[in-house]
Chain A
Amino acid sequence: MIDFELEPELAKGVSAARQFAEEQLRPISRYYDEHEHENPDELIDRMWELRRENIFSLGLDPAAGLRTEELCWGDAGLYLCIPGPALGGAAVFSSGTKEQIGKFLGNFNEGRPKWGAMAMTEPHAGSDTAAISTTAVRDGDEWVLNGEKIFVTMGKRALEDSDGFVVVWATVDKSAGRAGMKSFVVPAGTPGMRVEKMEKKLGIRASDTVTIVFDDCRIPFDHILGSPEVKKTDKAGTKGFKGAMATFDATRPIVAAQALGIGRAALDFVKEELERQGITIRYGVPRQSLTALERDIMDMEASYKAAKLLTLRALWMMSQLQPNSLESSMAKTKAGLAITKITQKAVEIMGPLGYSRKYLLEKWMRDGKINDIFEGTGQINMLVTARRVLNYSREQLK
């Protein structure tokens, strides 16, 4: 049966997230935009206290998407500061053994706030993840990592501010290409790993984005996620790389949900302002009699809704354990496009109110842009969607 209603228990979590966003995130949103790299310690402690409540819990179902949307409606940068295993956790979950999941995530909820991060991008390898040059060389019971990772979201908090970990993608055999790509868990405090540069960004400034350098960094052999074997015969892609892609199938709709939160924040702002001015949007009236403003608002609303329903569908399929690679890349592609369009249009419509830092709208335009970039740029997502729509391999559609 086709149904668009959330079970009451799940709906409660969504409204709790909404309340938290309104009361705890919005009031400090501007402060942490203007004080980049400052730690919202109090907020982090509060979020840590509430970690067992159904507000911040990760999850891969429509309710998790809706909670994410609400929190990012509050502030997308602060949302990323929520203590937890985050992307690193998703990687461990999708490619780790039972023992590894227990070892790295088992006591994540204990003690002080902790973060997990994922390190993929390198200075010379962005969307082309197979071109990474960080190496992992086996030496007895250990792996030795060397290389540099950039744009690691929440890397500082995971590795310097807490006893978290980072999942690092490295190659064990360069000649094997994709087949040689493996992921490794590196816990905070491992010698030979250091956090270097903190990026200054266009938006989501409350979150940290860092460079991590590995200099003969040694980790135990069993910190490799998935099999250490390199299967060169398996040309199309191997388990290791597929692990990364499986992670993306899970995380892309969540990133899309983040975009939705920012988009709705912008939409709500515009609609409230119009209401204050006594301007009503006449739904149902034929197009030719609408004002340009009404058309814009309706376009924004419809593309928000389109992105939202695609996102919820991808999450729903995941919760039903159905393969969703096509649907999750569709959701991310649409959400990235929609958010960019919605926030930019909102700034345009509001004129001086849109451009002024007195209001949050300009910030949302800056924040929103990240959703068209991280977890795959809009173009890469379009490429992935196209391959899946056409049932083409990467060789058939480059």
Chain B
Amino acid sequence: MIMSMVREFAGDEIRKVYRECDESGEIPGGLVDTAWSMGLVSGSIPEEFGGGGGDRSLITGSLIGEELAWGDLSIAMHVLCPALFAYPVLEMGTETQKKELLPMFCCDTFRPASAALIEPRFGFNPYALSTNARSDGDDYVLNGDKCYVPLAADAELILVYAQQGDGVQGFVVERGTSGLKIGEREKNMGIKALATYELSLKDCRVPKYSRLGGQEGCDFGRVLNCSRVALSAMAVGVARAAFEYSRDYAKERVAFGEPIASRQAIAFMLAEMAIEIDATRLMTWEAAWKLDRGEDATREASLVKAYADDMALMVTDRAVQILGGHGYVREHPVELWLRNGRGFYAFDGMAIV
């Protein structure tokens, strides 16, 4: 049921405005609120915190992620952004953290919150972060730089991932905390409608209880795996959009007396696109299914993410190629999908389901 709602939203609402959003860099607040009112994030927060009390399922999340990203990737990442904060708290937070932090995601209006993982340097490795957390009395002191932090300027709360000894831990940082500086909005090749920012943390102090999971800390590997499943699902969505558009175009566009789709050079490209989209979706579901059972899926999630990165680029590039010159102009959407599809290589931890 939720899926038919999401499908309708993506088809009717997102597809109406996405090009304009890409050009202007803005997503209408009304659209975000409509998405929020479907309970995509709050639905799986327990009733005691004000949520819908449904099970959190990465399979369902993958279906939603694909569908929204089929509509538009920027909009999908924007409307699901609060999950970057809420889901790790839901899964790994202490009882106090859940009680304190989850209710804000259960109200009617969209409350921006985010997470900061990626760092602006070559060779970035999520398992070995430069941003670090030092223990000092009753506080942790955070130092480091982050980038690709969606909605950071408006976010009331940001979950900052930092190195602590051998592992990575998450820290809840409130907006306005001294030492936290939010940089200029980033300008990227794609996802232009999504506002992303650099952050710098200079001796940024947070109280000890703001470490995700308290004493025990968090299972960062699982956070990353859930995020990789989400991004793979979104890559499938973007690729499917490009595939469908270029398939329909190829069946209509006539050259040398017949539709270009009736030439093997074009038809075989489309067949391979369809095969790889389906294969990636199945791999995404398999990893999601494993994570839903509480098993470790590091191998599955990282394999599918890498596969999805390649697939999204291959499919969106071919979509542009099939449209030829028409694919290169902004009158058609395929160039947008190529710019967005190319981003997945750089995205890690930027979405979660």
Which residues does A use to contact B, with CB under 8 Å?
2-4, 283-289, 298, 301-303, 305-307, 309-310, 313, 327, 330, 333-334, 382-383, 385-387, 389-390, 392, 396-398
Contacts and interface: CB of A to CB of B under 8 A. Distances in A.
Given A289-B123, A385-B274, A392-B261, A305 B268 contact: no
13 contacts: A3-B289, A284-B298, A285-B127, A289-B125, A302-B283, A305-B303, A313-B282, A383-B268, A389-B247, A389-B267, A389-B270, A390-B247, A390-B261
A298 B271 CA distance: 24
Given A2-B59, A284-B224, A309-B279, A390 B270 contact: yes
A392 B59 CA distance: 33
A283 B303 CA distance: 8
Given A309-B286, A386-B264, A397-B261, A333 B271 contact: yes
Contact of B298 (A283, A286, A398): A283
Contacts of B302: 283-285, 298
Interface size class of B (residues with CB under 8 A): 35 or more
A382 B271 contact: yes
Interface in B262-295: 262, 264, 267-268, 270-272, 274-276, 278-280, 282-283, 285-286, 289-290
Contact of A285 (B125, B221, B247, B270): B125
B125 A334 contact: no
Given A285-B302, A286-B126, 16 more contacts: A283-B302, A284-B299, A286-B123, A286-B348, A289-B125, A298-B302, A298-B303, A302-B304, A302-B307, A306-B283, A333-B271, A382-B268, A383-B267, A386-B267, A389-B271, A390-B251
Given A2-B59, A310-B278, A385 B303 contact: no
B275 A330 contact: yes
A392 B262 contact: yes
A397 B306 contact: no
Residue of A288, A289, A306 with highest tally of chain B CB at under 10 A: A306
A333 B275 contact: yes
Residue of B59, B267, B298 with highest tally of chain A CB at under 10 A: B267
B303 to A, nearest CB: 5
B15 to A, nearest CB: 22
Contacts of A333: 271, 275
A322 to B, nearest CB: 15
Interface residues of chain A: helix, strand, loop or mixed (majority): helix
Interface string B135-175: 00000000000000000000000000000000000000000
Contact of B303 (A285, A301, A307): A301
B262 A389 contact: no
Contacts of A334: 275, 279
A285 B221 CA distance: 11
A382 B301 CA distance: 28
A398 B265 CA distance: 11
B307 A390 contact: no
Interface string B298-335: 11011110110100000000000000000000000000
Nearest to B299: A283
A389 B275 CA distance: 9
Nearest to A389: B274
Contacts of A298: 302-303, 306
Contacts of B345: 287
Contacts of A285: 125, 127, 302
A29 to B, nearest CB: 28
A333 B127 CA distance: 37
A287 B307 CA distance: 11
A390 B271 CA distance: 8
Nearest to B290: A4
Contacts of B225: 284
Contacts of A307: 279
A385 B267 CA distance: 9
Contacts of A387: 267
B264 A383 contact: yes
A2 B307 CA distance: 21
